A and B are shown apart, each in its own frame.
Chain A
Amino acid sequence: NAGVTQTPKFQVLKTGQSMTLQCAQDMNHNSMYWYRQDPGMGLRLIYYSASEGTTDKGEVPNGYNVSRLNKREFSLRLESAAPSQTSVYFCASRVAGDLYEQYFGPGTRLTVT
């Protein structure tokens, strides 16, 4: 049982390049989330998916797109990377209902130059 996995662990992009961050969970969770964490800013919600086939914007969605490929996988895409998107990205998942504990992946450290 690996929990929440993310790939890659590190990535350096040039401004304007695109890439997709992958996330998968093996806990049969319905809901999945993407957060970014910047120094001094805490974690901020980018997008979430309450169930397979649905996605919704969070607090900071601009510049990102997501895909809930199936129940296990939730990807985050940067179409045209900008230096302001340099951050650590965390994927999380949880079961449905009121047990709101979110399980986090190990994170992807992204640098855009």
Chain B
Amino acid sequence: EDKVVQSPLSLVVHEGDTVTLNCSYEVTNFRSLLWYKQEKKAPTFLFMLTSSGIEKKSGRLSSILDKKELFSILNITATQTGDSAVYLCAVRVSGGGADGLTFGKGTHLIIQP
């Protein structure tokens, strides 16, 4: 059974701090790993990492994928209160006729002013 584990499950930091969110996975036929941000509504896409793109950066957010050790991290520098959200990690596998993403439980990040 495919498994995606995120840690920590919740995190409270102060504005301006740097945070690192973790995602480890055990899946067969790994294809890609995606990060989403979920505020009180629908998840919105942040990054997709594959074997051909193992590091992504967008402004204060960056993510790396370690395919050997089967994990990814999402870094947020100089955090702002608007970064408060649940961050979801998901893995896409290929083969077996299946489609869709397997999600972790998410990390609930709270940024205090």
Contacts and interface: CB of A to CB of B under 8 A. Distances in A.
Contact of B42 (A33, A45, A90): A90
Interface residues of A, number: 25
Interface of A: 4, 31, 33, 35, 40-45, 48, 50, 56, 58-59, 90, 98, 100-107
B85 to A, nearest CB: 14
Interface string B9-43: 00000000000000000000001101000000111
Contacts, number: 56
B56 to A, nearest CB: 12
B41 A43 contact: no
Interface of B: 4, 31-32, 34, 41-45, 48, 50, 88, 90, 92, 97-106
Contact of A107 (B42, B44, B97): B42
What are the 5 A-B residue pairs with the smallest beta carbon separation, nearest first?
A104-B42, A45-B100, A42-B103, A43-B103, A42-B105
A47 to B, nearest CB: 9
Contacts of B41: 106-107
A31 B98 CA distance: 12
B99 A50 contact: yes
